[in-house]
Every structure is written in structure tokens, then in C-alpha cells.
Amino acid sequence: MVKIIVTQSGSQQAIARLREQAKGDEVVVVDREGRPLDGGDLSDAEVFMRSWSPPTVTETVMKQAPRLKWMHTPSAGLDQVLFPALVESDIVLTNSSGVHAMPISEWVILYVLAAAKRLPELLAAQRERRWAQDLKLQELTDKTLLILGYGAIGREVAKRALPFGMKVIAARSGSKGKDDERQAGVEIVYGSEAWRGVLPRADFVVVSLPLTEQTRGVVNAAAFTALKPTAWFINIARGEIADEDALLRALQEGRIAGAGLDAFGEEPLPSNHPLYSLPESKVLLTPHISWNSPQVGERTLDLFLENLRRYKSGEPLLNVVDKRAGY
């Protein structure tokens, strides 16, 4: 029998399904501050399935569960998960990389189509009861999409862009990966700085990198300067990966055509932020919602249950992350 800790803030349907699927194992629920409910004991728990809770809750759980061996997070990114005690511990950490890739990649295509077909201006004309047939629209055929970060999300973005006839370039920070050849038609550049050399070719730049010390602010003023004035910048990862001030200047000065942003350095985005002052034709702002889908929760629990099976049978776990690298 394995004792599994889950948080009360998680989906009640997911907790009920976990209890049903993990028969023979003990499930202990902790409240939103990490304290066990109904007199539960965490001292011999081995597994923690955390929810979207702050690191302080994880710290509280860890202090009560000295035998903890494996922790799973529903997020793909780890910037809101890691803290020194967890990094230094022997606890194996797995993430939910891949479960959000489908809705996020669809959101990217939403931004791309909205920009090419000038949807914001058309919606504005509809509100104004104006016949805006003079707008000049673009096709996606032969447009170049540059994806920064060719992980699960990046691959799904490429998969959806290729049928539109787009030219897809993907940037990987490391060496060739085992899945790189599976997606025909994608040009891949390797190395942490190689993507900068292809920026002038890009009509759309999509950020799908994890936030680490190496990627913080990596899309800087020089990167925006290298883009063509008709290019669009899309960020569905973390706001801190881009220099937000440099992006704002590039938009205000017309050095790039526009931006689709679902991630910001400060969230919620303050109501007085200057990005709100830009016209909708230049910037599409959404509240970090691109991951949202009913299927995400189901896929997250499916992944956890598969890993629970592997954990109990001594098989390697899926999505084990490098805590020191941050991904």
C-alpha cells in the first residue's frame, strides 16, 4: 500500500477518481495550507500530488512527510514550484508537460489567424456598424513561424501550423532530441543562441520556453530589433522570458507589427499597465488562459495514475524533471 497526499484545492472529481483508481492505497487530503484533514497522518506518506498551490503549502507538507519520495505537479513550468529545500532533497519531481500542449497550441493558432486576418479590426468595425472591406488581409501560406522551445507545446504548435502551409523553424537550446525527426517539414536550429540568426526570417515568433535563470529576459531589445516590422510576437509561456519594456517600445514605435500575449511579468496584469493603452490591432492580451480546457484535468490525472503504476512496479517515471536545471 502507498500513502498518497493530495490537496483540498484540487478538483474534487479528480480526488474521487483517484480514490477509485488507487484502490488499496491510502489517500490523505490536506487543506489549502497543507494541514491534513480528518486527523490524517502524513509521516509515512511516499507520494504527493500537489495542486495549483503556492510553494509554502508544499513546504508545509514536506515538513510533515519525511518519507516523501515522489512529488507530481499539475504544471509544466517549475518556476512556481521549486524552492531550495525541494531542490536539495532526494524527492523525485515529475511535471505535467504535454497535458496542456493541445489547448495552448490552439491558442497560438488563434493569435496567428487573428493577426493575419485582422480580426481585432473586424470586430471593432462590427461594434461600430462599419463595413471594413478595405482591410488588407494575409494568408498563412509560406509565412514563417519561429518556435522558441521545441518541447511538447512547441511540437504541437508546429503540428497545427504545417497544414496551413507555414514554414516552421524550431529552436532547441541543446543537441538533437530523439523526437526531432518525427515532424517532417520542421527546420530545427540547435544551441542557446542560434535562434537569433533566424529572427529576420520570422513572420511570427512563438515563445514556449520554460522560465529559468538562463531564459529570463532572453528575448531582449536586440531580438525585437532583429525582427521585420511586419512580424508578430507571441508569448504563451512566462512573461519574464521577454523584456516587457523592450517589447512595449517596439510596439509603440512600430518596429514590430503586433503581439499576442497570454503571459506577463506581473499577473494579473495591472489595469494601468501601458500595454492596455495600445490599440487592439497591435496587441491581443489574454489572462494566462491558453492552457484552459476540461481535458487538461483528465490528462493530468491519467499521467499521474500511469506514474503511480510505474512507481509501485519500480519502473522509470514519466516526466521526471531536473530540479537544478528548472525543467
255 is catalytic: no
DSSP 147-211: EE--SHHHHHHHHHHGGGT-EEEEEESSS--TTGGGSTTEEEEESTTGGGGGGGG-SEEEE----
61: how many CB neighbours lie within 10 A of its CB?
24
Find out whether 51 and 74 touch, Cβ atoms under 8 Å: yes
Where are the chain's structural domains?
3-99+294-313, 101-285
Assign residue 32 a region: left if phi > 0, alpha if psi is -120 to 50, beta otherwise? alpha
pLDDT in tens, the chain (327 residues): 999 999 987 678 888 999 999 889 999 999 999 999 988 899 999 999 999 888 999 999 999 999 999 999 999 999 989 999 999 999 999 999 999 999 999 999 999 999 999 999 999 999 999 999 999 999 999 999 999 999 999 999 999 999 999 999 999 987 666 655 667 899 999 999 999 999 999 999 999 999 999 999 999 999 999 999 999 999 999 999 999 999 999 999 999 999 999 999 999 999 999 999 999 999 999 999 999 999 999 999 999 999 999 999 999 999 999 999 999
Q: Which pLDDT score, from 0 to 100, does residue 306 have?
A: 98
Which three cell numbers mark 109?
Answer: 493558432
Active-site residue, from 46, 155, 238, 240:
238
Burial of 224 (0-12, 13-18, 19+ CB in 10 A): buried
Is 324 one of the catalytic residues?
no
Do the domains at 3-99+294-313 and 101-285 have one common CATH topology? yes
Nearest to 255 by CA among 283, 276, 279, 224: 224
Q: Is 119 exposed, middle or buried (0-12, 13-18, 19+ CB in 10 A)?
A: middle
Q: Which CATH number fits domain 101-285: 3.40.50.720, 3.10.129.10, 3.40.50.150, 3.30.300.90?
A: 3.40.50.720
Strand order of the sheet with strand 92-94?
26-30, 3-7, 47-49, 70-72, 92-94
517515471: which residue's cell? Answer: 317
Question: Is 238 among the residues known to form the active site?
Answer: yes
pTM over 0.95: no
**Catalytic choice (288, 298, 306, 310):** 288
For residue 181, the model assigns a pLDDT of 60
Contact 83, 102 (CB under 8 A): no
Query: Is the Cβ–Cβ distance between 146 and 197 less than 8 Å?
Result: no
Nearest Cα residue to 211 out of 238, 174, 245: 238
CA angle 116, 147, 73 (to 5 degrees): 115
| SS3 state at 93 | strand
Assign domain 3-99+294-313 to its CATH architecture. 3-Layer(aba) Sandwich (3.40)
